[in-house]
Amino acid sequence: MIQKKVCMVGIHGTGKTSLVQRYVHSIFSAKYHSTVGVKIDRKPVTVGNTDVNLLLWDVEGRTADQDIPASYLRGAHAAFFVADGTRRETFEQVADLRELVRSAAGDIPSIVALNKADLKDQWVLTASDRATLIANGFHTLTTSAKSGEGVEDAFRWIATAALSVAST
Amino acid sequence: MPDDGVPLGEGTAATSDMSVRELTELRDLLFGAERRQLDELRRRLDTAELTSDELAEKLPQAIVQRAARDKQLAIALAPTVESAISESVRRNPHEIATAIFPVLGPSIRKAIAETMSGLVNTINRAIEHSFSPQGIRWRIESWRTGVPFAQIVMRHALVYRVEQVFLVHTGTGLLLAHMPDESLGDADLISGMLTAIQDFVNDSFEPKQTGELRAFAAGDLTVLVETGPQAYVAAVVRGQAPETLPLKLQTTLETIHLQWSDPLARFDGDAAAFTTTRPLLEECIETVLATDQRAKRAGFRRFAWVVPVVVIAALALWWGTRGTRRWNAALARLESEPGLVVIRSERRGGQWHLTGLRDPLAANPALLMASRGIDTTDVVARWQPYVSTEPALLLARARRVLAAPVGITFRINGDTLSASGRAPAFWIARAQALAPALAGVGATNFSGVSPGLPGDMERLATDIESQHVLFAAGTDSLDASARAIIATTAKNIQRIIDAASSNRYDISIHVVGRADPSGAETNNLALSRRRATAVRDRLAGLGIAPVRLAVDAVGSNDPLPAATALERARLNRSASFVIQARPSTVPTSAERTQ
């Protein structure tokens, strides 16, 4: 069984935790976030004939006065960023967060989930914003914790990307 | 060699036949050996099967070679061997039983020994836990909580148990291997969290200066962590982890770093290469109970069962030997009695059989035994008479045989019989002649005996000394006849005092109190003193000068002789008188006035 460490990073309140909690195997309660600052879940994904267990290090969301501990990011095979499609500032911080991940784990496959896709009337991001992300080397997709839209795709992309990095 | 002159290649049939035959001959001569070898080879190639001879030659080597290569041979042979054995057992069980007996015997013994040792251990633990205050506490706890006693014991007796061991990749926090069961499910999540917690501690408390997180505890669970450059080992321990465990983990980790250095360096999420580390991790899994540890500390704990067994045995023995101990006490009493010798005693047919020697003057053995709680109807005793030379009996015999007057006192020192006091001259002469004939008497000394007294004094003294003031058993009160005897004696005493004075003798009257032998000797001695004192006081009241009177108490020692025991007892519940008179060195009043 192949295992991959994936760190999930986002601004506080982007719905990162609720995005994944329905789709992963979890034995730790949410209070780990406020105590240790990280909660580890497992997401099994099958890519072709290969079974992969993604170990998701769901790092506590970034707040104004608390940064993400770099040690939790170390050794990650892929990064899963979550931004809130209804709050532009969360999107704008992705690049900054990416630098944090890069300094801790190097250039690793990165995906940005533009979350809360169900709130279409409050959506503030434009097509050009996505183009910017793609130009910066991110894979992007829109997700919704409510409908589940894009979530499985996001994990499958990460698993595939992590495997392909390993094989090269 | 063809030498018949016919040229080769001549075309007739005869010559052709001839030449073929010759050629064959020639070939045989030139290449005979090689041809036979070739034929043999061809034959082998054609048949392609081994002969049994060849197989016999090759088989052992073949078996050795194949067995060294893999287990296929064993796998292939196993069913055949199994059915061969069962067939053999079915046909002739005796044969195989004989063959495996040397193996079976020791195995069975070993198995029994192990079972017994386990049983003893179990009993020891049960007793240890049942009899100790701790055990009682646990019983109460079990009763209170409703948890079975065995579980309570286990919970308390557990010193430590290494429940799980994780091998985790340091860089990623991904699980490399896990014991005891990798299929546990969430070991990967736990190992991730363990890594996160270490990171958390490292970040929070700057242990770069203090070292790394080595252990953390929650309740009776402790997680011990040994960190290496590529991987760390975490052991989940329930109970009190021993000091040696971290070292063991460290050694395991070092071995893994050494032998799996390449897979560790290239690790990218595939833990398949680390399944082979599991036997190493398994060695770290262990359970140690307090009873095991205590057994190591103090070997005698293994023999805890001995204590109750010994107590029970001692109680049974005490109960069973009560009669014997009582008998032994009675025997000891008999043996301490002068004039009694126990030769043999045994229990037979529900009765005690006793054989021994008894001096006729010795105390009654039946009474002595009865005084020690022995039912004498259960005793069959055979006493042979003998003569004892023990001092007490020797003195009694001397008094009896020599018919000593009351004024004579005997002593024995070694084998010398000494007499002192005053006696008529004829008695002294006779006693001196008879005494050496007494058994046990080697020499006599009668120098302390003064012969007779002058004039009336001898008659008066004999008269006084023949009086006995008798008492009722146990009392010192003077009845009417006693008072009458004292009154008569007082007159004679006054007369002898007067006679002594005129004969220039110093005289004193000893009132000797006695008691019969019943009762304790200390009581008897006191009683005899009270009797003598009562008589002395009475004499003083009748006008005898107290300075002339002395009190002697002899208890039941030195008893006065009598024909029967009853008479002897009566005669010795008494006070009697002994006159001591010596020629005076002090001048008489008449002389002083001269």
Residues B436 and B469 in one domain: no
Cβ–Cβ gap A75/B203 under 8 Å: no
* The domain boundary residue, chosen from B261, B285, B309: B285
Residue B420 CB coordination number (10 Å): 16
Distance from A166 to chain B by nearest Cα, in Å?
A: 7
> Which residues in A lie closer than 8 A to residue B174 (C-beta atoms)?
3-5, 55
Pairing of strands B505-513, B351-358: unpaired
**Residue B503's CATH number:** 3.30.1330.60
> Which residues in B lie closer than 8 A to residue A41 (C-beta atoms)?
189
Q: How does pLDDT run along chain B (594 residues), one tens digit per residue? A: 444 444 444 445 566 777 888 888 888 888 888 888 888 888 877 776 667 787 888 888 888 888 888 778 888 888 888 888 888 888 888 877 777 777 777 777 777 877 776 666 666 666 666 667 777 888 888 888 887 777 777 677 677 888 889 999 988 889 898 888 655 578 888 888 888 888 888 777 765 555 577 888 877 788 899 888 889 999 988 887 778 888 888 888 888 888 888 888 888 888 888 888 888 888 888 877 765 555 445 555 667 778 888 888 999 888 878 888 888 888 888 888 888 888 888 888 888 888 999 988 888 888 888 888 888 888 888 898 888 888 888 888 888 888 776 667 888 888 888 888 777 677 788 888 888 888 888 888 888 887 777 767 888 888 898 899 999 988 999 999 999 999 999 999 999 998 888 877 788 899 999 998 888 888 999 999 999 999 999 999 999 999 999 999 988 888 888 888 888 888 999 999 998 877 665 554 544 444
B211 and A CB contact within 8 Å: no
**CA dist B11 to B15, B22, B37, B490, Å?**
7, 15, 34, 190
Cβ–Cβ gap A72/B270 under 8 Å: no
Residues B150 and B231 in one domain: yes
B127 in a structural domain: no
CB nearest to B192's CB, from A57, A74, A166: A57
Cβ–Cβ gap B202/A166 under 8 Å: no
B299 in a structural domain: no
Residues B444 and B561 in one domain: no
A168 and B CB contact within 8 Å: no
Cβ–Cβ gap A42/B188 under 8 Å: yes
CB nearest to A74's CB, from B171, B271, B272: B171
B181 in a structural domain: yes
B291 in a structural domain: no
Cβ–Cβ gap B269/A37 under 8 Å: no
For the record, the structure tokens of B482 come out as 């006693």
B519 in a structural domain: yes
Residues B367 and B417 in one domain: no
* The domain boundary residue, chosen from B449, B470, B488: B449
Domain with B434 in it: 389-449
Residues B325 and B429 in one domain: no
Contacts 24+ apart (CB under 8 A), B446-450: B446/B418, B446/B419, B448/B418, B448/B419, B448/B420, B448/B421, B449/B408, B449/B419, B449/B420, B449/B421, B449/B422, B449/B423, B450/B421, B450/B422, B450/B581, B450/B582
- What are the residues facing A84 on neighbouring strands? A115
CB nearest to B199's CB, from A52, A71, A76: A71
Q: Is the peptide bond before B180 cis (omega within 30 degrees of 0)?
A: yes
Residues B251 and B162 in one domain: yes
**Residue A107's CATH number:** 3.40.50.300
**Residue B372's CATH number:** 3.30.300
A38 and B CB contact within 8 Å: yes
Cβ–Cβ gap B172/A25 under 8 Å: no
Residues B225 and B357 in one domain: no
Residues B467 and B588 in one domain: yes
Q: Could you give the number of structural domains in chain A?
A: 1
Could you tell me the pTM of the whole model? Answer: 0.43
B109 in a structural domain: no
A49 and B CB contact within 8 Å: no
**Residue B227's CATH number:** 3.30.450.70
DSSP run (H or E) holding B67: helix B52-69
- ipTM of this predicted complex? 0.84
* The domain boundary residue, chosen from B237, B270, B285: B285
A64 and B CB contact within 8 Å: no
Residues B198 and B264 in one domain: yes
Residues B464 and B594 in one domain: yes
Cβ–Cβ gap B193/A36 under 8 Å: yes
B411 in a structural domain: yes
Cβ–Cβ gap B199/A5 under 8 Å: no
B222 in a structural domain: yes
**CA dist A158 to A139, A155, B488, Å?**
9, 5, 144
Are B149 and B138 spatial neighbours (Cβ–Cβ below 8 Å)?
Answer: yes
Residues B344 and B395 in one domain: no
Domain with A90 in it: 2-167
Cβ–Cβ gap B186/A27 under 8 Å: yes
Q: Could you give the number of structural domains in chain B?
A: 4
Residues B403 and B338 in one domain: no
